[in-house]
Structure 1
Amino acid sequence: MAVSNVYYTNMRTTLQENLLQKLERLVRKAGMMDMDFENKFTAIKIHFGEPGNLAYLRPNYSKVLVDLIRSKGGRPFLTDCNTLYVGRRKNALDHLDAAYENGYNPFCTGCHMIIADGLKGTDEVLVPIDGEYVKEAKIGRALMDADIVISLTHFKGHESTGFGGALKNLGMGGGSRAGKMEMHNAGKPFVNQELCVGCGSCKKNCAHGAITIEDRKASIDVNKCVGCGRCIGACPVDAVDSMCDEANDILNKKIAEYTWAVLKDRPHFHVSLVVDVSPNCDCHSENDAAIVPNVGIFASFDPVALDMACVDAVNRQPVINGSYLAEQEHCHHDHFKDTHPDTNWETCIDHGVKLGLGNREYNLITI
């Protein structure tokens, strides 16, 4: 496979050009406007940010892409799937409230927001991929209904995968609730008995008879459970949760396979902003201080090369004094492994290459 081009611009501005104008110039130079958007539903996969976290991308960046796509006759929408964990984005109504709270609304972005896997995270498309770990990926329906996929990613650290880049934004972010369960574990939820009030909502939503209630406490028969995750969305007190028992290396490989399911057989393009590089995911309702200075904006048709370019750029940066990374032992010559030593981000990259998602090698073109 040929070396991929990754385009880059720093965060410096002039009186003649602000950051939003630089982003437009970057994606034009990278070739996004050569895509055929005419009358095409275009999903811009983004993370709206968990309220309380201030490291998520400002909605202004998305409007640049929306306006460009509309200028080519496209029909863009911003999208993400519901979360597996308990939080403000667990169902579509709360998810949209959180997005509005963080500034994402049609008046600011120029397009609508659609929660791709529906009200309770169960509206999905089964995508056959026959991967090493995933045979049938469970992807949010609205994301799969799109004709074109654009990823707009906040590049940062992650406590389970090392970093969160384009692959994680698309793979984990594109999975329905059942898909997220499959990536995180063997797909079996459990009931926290201390929180359970025995209301029966989980049992009513189980199509496989896997849930019983005794002494006002629910329990799940893992032999009957198919891992659809409906019980998680149905529980009003958040007593049902995912086991999250998958090894991080396998989690990373599953993310790569889910990314392949999202992108295969469709045009796609990717933008990552390496700014406010917090040590953990934007799914946290807080963000710790950045571990390195802001780097810039990257764009490419190759999501693997894009993630590699962002990793390399971060690893060239000095560590910010007082940050979480500054307090860690530096023995890996790798900021992400030093931040989370139990992770290995290269597993996802290498598996993505194996699947044909893209290349590790890239030409970095600075504009």
Structure 2
Amino acid sequence: MTARVYFVRAAIGSGRKNMLQKIGDLFDAADLSECIGDGDLTAIKIHFGEWGNDTYISPVWVREVTEQVRAAGGRPFLTDTNTLYSGMRHNGVDHLTVAARHGFVPEVAGAPVVIADGITSQNWRTVGIGKKHFGEVKIAGDILDAGSMIVLSHVKGHGMAGFGGAIKNLAMGCAPAAGKKDQHQGLLPAIDGDICIGCAACTRACPNGALVEEEGEVHLTPSRCIGCGECMTVCPTGAIDFDWEGGVVPFMEMMTEYALGAVRGKEGRIGYINVLMNITPDCDCCPWSDSAIVPDIGILASTDPVAIDAASVDLVNAQRGIRGSRLLCGHEPGEDKFRGVAPCTDGMVQIRYGEEIGLGEAAYELIEIGE
């Protein structure tokens, strides 16, 4: 079966419609209001951006989504889960503070913010899925308790997942810290002693004390490692890296299985919106925002998470890459842009495995909504 994915371009045409109007048009065209029951507590699953990041989805645009949900009879709330790594979103209190600083308050975004796994990431329940890596997965309690959901995703690159879209938003974004740890198992870093300068930046960044510096050498305690990769992001010499060949594909498969758990029990009650703007090389979890790797494209909507991610990747790859960005290769239209940023990853594993386990359909019909 071919899923339908609806698309509006970022460019302003002769009709001069703004993005708020286009989001409304997408909501109508994709029948997302049909996902929302009258009186539903409707989760709008979004990423609020780490403090220091500024390319997350604008809360002004989010307000249009909350108003569409309210018009459909839902009672919207904005939500995300706490991070596994240390940072400004590691607990519910700091997470709410960052959300407010970034403009995600009712006065701007049109709905309250609820951190779905609670203040200390203990609000979760298990969901049975019976798949290759997991028999059951851990999903945030307030995600499970919502009657319906709109998954609002900023599409961008990701060093381990290849790219982040709807599937990753479901998987990592609906899991508590314990569930995120499940997904990262097997991704243990290795330290190249010939490159390591013993600066201890990684030991300070490690949220679980898995790295220790002794006499200018850094050592890993595998049993304490949670696989978050934060040590890699702060290492100034690139001395820390994952086992890309053996660990990354299982990581993406485990992530996709978690996405399946996040949608269980809400069949027909979830809509997806992917924003292909500010397509940066890194996740919004980074406390910075690098320059975009391709021009702004537009926004997609669908009721199928696999199809909308497949269409997002195809639209990104169809662009001419931006010279001077972190896109190392693959600049020509049709070439793989996300592998041009992170050559060791293949984000299409999410698409292929998502279809294999019944999360959605990789085949799609792209329907452009004109002015």
TM range (shorter): 0.7 to 0.9
Question: Quick one: structure 1 residues 194 and 289, their matched pair in 2 at CA, closer, same or farther if it must change by over 3 Å?
Answer: closer
> Which of 303, 306, 309 is the equivalent residue of 1:304?
306
- Matched residues in 1 for 2:55 and 2:147: separation? 30
The C-alpha deviation readout for 1:238-262, integer Å capped at 9, x for no partner, is xxxxx98781111111111111111
The C-alpha deviation readout for 1:98-155, integer Å capped at 9, x for no partner, is 0011110011111111111111112111111111111221111111111112100000
Asked if 1:349 is matched to 2:351, the reply is yes
> Which of 275, 283, 288 is the equivalent residue of 1:286?
288
- Matched residues in 2 for 1:88 and 1:319: separation? 32
The C-alpha deviation readout for 1:286-338, integer Å capped at 9, x for no partner, is 0110000000000000010000001000000001121110x447699311112
TM-score (norm 2): 0.82
The C-alpha deviation readout for 1:156-188, integer Å capped at 9, x for no partner, is 111111100000011111110000000011599
Question: Quick one: structure 1 residues 66 and 187, their matched pair in 2 at CA, closer, same or farther if it must change by over 3 Å?
Answer: same
Secondary structure, counterpart of 2:138 in structure 1: strand
Secondary structure, counterpart of 2:173 in structure 1: helix
Secondary structure, counterpart of 2:172 in structure 1: helix
- Matched residues in 2 for 1:29 and 1:73: separation? 18
Secondary structure, counterpart of 1:247 in structure 2: helix
Q: Which amino acid aligns with 2:4?
A: N
Question: Quick one: structure 1 residues 310 and 221, their matched pair in 2 at CA, closer, same or farther if it must change by over 3 Å?
Answer: closer
Residue of structure 2 in register with 1:264 after alignment: 264
Residue of structure 2 in register with 1:125 after alignment: 125
Residue of structure 2 in register with 1:20 after alignment: 20
Residue of structure 2 in register with 1:149 after alignment: 149
The C-alpha deviation readout for 1:50-84, integer Å capped at 9, x for no partner, is 11111110011211111111112211111000001
Question: Quick one: structure 1 residues 193 and 293, their matched pair in 2 at CA, closer, same or farther if it must change by over 3 Å?
Answer: closer
TM-score (norm 1): 0.83
Residue of structure 2 in register with 1:199 after alignment: none
Unaligned runs of 5+ in 1: 197-201, 203-218, 230-242
The C-alpha deviation readout for 1:10-45, integer Å capped at 9, x for no partner, is 012367521101110111111112334211111110
Q: Which amino acid aligns with 1:158?
A: H
Q: Percent identity among equivalent residues?
A: 37
- Matched residues in 2 for 1:148 and 1:340: separation? 34
Secondary structure, counterpart of 1:365 in structure 2: strand
Q: Which amino acid aligns with 1:86?
A: S
Q: Which amino acid aligns with 1:350?
A: R
Question: Quick one: structure 1 residues 77 and 363, their matched pair in 2 at CA, closer, same or farther if it must change by over 3 Å?
Answer: same
The range that moved more, 69-78 or 93-102, is 69-78
Question: Quick one: structure 1 residues 272 and 195, their matched pair in 2 at CA, closer, same or farther if it must change by over 3 Å?
Answer: closer
Secondary structure, counterpart of 1:17 in structure 2: coil
Unaligned runs of 5+ in 2: 189-200, 209-219, 229-240
CA contact (8 A) 1:185 1:244 kept: no
Question: Quick one: structure 1 residues 312 and 37, their matched pair in 2 at CA, closer, same or farther if it must change by over 3 Å?
Answer: same
Let me know the Cα RMSD of the aligned residues.
Answer: 2.8
- Matched residues in 2 for 1:221 and 1:350: separation? 30
Q: Which amino acid aligns with 2:275?
A: L
Deviation of the 1:358 alpha carbon: 1.0
Question: Quick one: structure 1 residues 349 and 104, their matched pair in 2 at CA, closer, same or farther if it must change by over 3 Å?
Answer: same
Question: Quick one: structure 1 residues 256 and 193, their matched pair in 2 at CA, closer, same or farther if it must change by over 3 Å?
Answer: closer
Asked if 1:8 is matched to 2:7, the reply is yes
Question: Quick one: structure 1 residues 62 and 341, their matched pair in 2 at CA, closer, same or farther if it must change by over 3 Å?
Answer: same
Deviation of the 1:221 alpha carbon: 10
Residue of structure 2 in register with 1:314 after alignment: 316
Asked if 1:174 is matched to 2:174, the reply is yes
Secondary structure, counterpart of 1:119 in structure 2: coil
- Matched residues in 2 for 1:33 and 1:348: separation? 27
